[in-house]
Amino acid sequence: MKKKALLIVLSVFVLATVLTAAVPAKTELARLEIINKTDQKVMLSLSGEGYFFFLTVDPGTDKTFTVPREEFAQRTWSCDTSVTGFLDMDTNVRLVFTACGEDAPNKGEPTQEKVHIDDSPGETEYWRYWNYE
């Protein structure tokens, strides 16, 4: 009888451990990656419920920030222009700022594309990909 009880307890423990490891935890924070391919500094202000961020990225570099998962009012300065709008940080977001130039179509206007990225073993993430041209 003791062996049966021990086997049941051990089985429940193993099952709980496997199920906990299989379910990815959704944290309260999301990653915001900014890739600056311009020759100027990129600046981004985010304002949300009780939060305000002013983020800067030097020319030719990229940075990753961690922000709360919520919708922010945003203002972006890049290529001597500014754009306002909203940024939904419910998932991870990547902003790519391409080289400045007068021949660039829709300069300063974002285009959006969803990209599937598998950047960790056994776990996939979905990024919203904004391309500022």
Q: pLDDT tens digits for 20-37?
A: 655 555 678 889 999 988
2.60.40.10, 3.90.1150.10, 3.50.50.60, 2.60.40.1180: CATH of 29-132:
2.60.40.10
- Report pLDDT for 116: 41
Give me the residues of the chain with pLDDT under 50, please: 109-133
First vs last C-alpha separation in the chain:
71
Looking at residue 98, its pLDDT comes to 84
Cα separation of 61 and 58, whole Å? Answer: 6
- At residue 119, the pLDDT reads 42
pLDDT at 56: 93
Model pLDDT, residue 128:
45
**Integer Cα distance of 78 and 80 in angstroms:** 5
